[in-house]
């Protein structure tokens, strides 16, 4: 069961609608889209999960990584906030399992997503190195967000760091 993302950016926020699975395959395009908006001074991400069937750790870690976005590169030095709306029971279970509601703002009541022109983001990856770095960054963000995630993802992140070094040595 595949998933895709639709997104829009205004001067106030990045809006993302997850349709199907929010996973490692669409987290990269979401990060690229959001970072472009962050560099233009946007500091709010709103993620609608009403049509989402599930979330993987890379997708959730990418959301957590937005909070730590390097604001030194932007004209607006304020921190980025992430709000999740319309979470379903399966997506809430996934987020709770990794401690996201401790840091992200999750609105418990149903929210009408704003009327804006959403564009479907591309899916997939351009290269193996960028995919590995995204997955590593996402899991590092999860470990920083909740100490319990260190035991869960520490060995995985160490393996990704080694894989990244090996790729750089090989020139991939």
What is the model's pLDDT at position 1?
54
Asked whether residue 70 carries a pLDDT value surpassing 60, the answer given is yes
Examine residue 152 and state whether it is found in any structural domain, yes or no. Answer: no
Percent of the chain with pLDDT over 90: 62
Asked whether residue 135 carries a pLDDT value surpassing 60, the answer given is yes
CATH of the domain at 80: 3.30.750.24
Examine residue 9 and state whether it is found in any structural domain, yes or no. Answer: yes
1-29 mean pLDDT: 92
Burial 135-171 (b: 16+ CB within 10 A, else e): bbbbbbbbbbbbeebeeebeeebeebeebbeeeeeee
Examine residue 18 and state whether it is found in any structural domain, yes or no. Answer: yes
Query: What is the domain range of residue 94?
Result: 4-124
Record the pTM: 0.89
**Torsion angle in degrees (nearest 10) through CA of 151, 162, 141, 155:** -10
């Amino acid at each position: 069961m595949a998933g895709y993302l639709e997104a829009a950016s205004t001067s106030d926020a990045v809006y993302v609608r997850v349709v199907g699975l929010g996973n490692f395959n669409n987290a990269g395009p979401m990060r690229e889209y959001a970072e472009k908006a962050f560099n233009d001074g946007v500091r709010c991400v709103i993620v609608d999960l009403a049509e989402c069937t599930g979330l993987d750790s890379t997708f959730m870690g990418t959301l957590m990584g937005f909070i730590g976005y390097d604001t030194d590169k932007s004209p607006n030095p304020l921190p980025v906030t992430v709000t999740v709306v319309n979470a379903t029971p399966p997506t809430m279970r996934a987020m709770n399992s990794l401690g996201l509601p401790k840091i992200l703002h999750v609105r418990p009541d149903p929210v009408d997503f704003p009327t804006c022109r959403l564009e479907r983001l591309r899916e997939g990856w351009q290269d193996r190195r960028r995919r590995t770095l995204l997955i590593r960054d996402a899991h590092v963000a999860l470990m920083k967000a909740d100490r319990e995630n260190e035991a869960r993802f520490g060995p995985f992140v160490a393996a990704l760091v080694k894989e990244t070094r090996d790729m750089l040595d090989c020139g991939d």
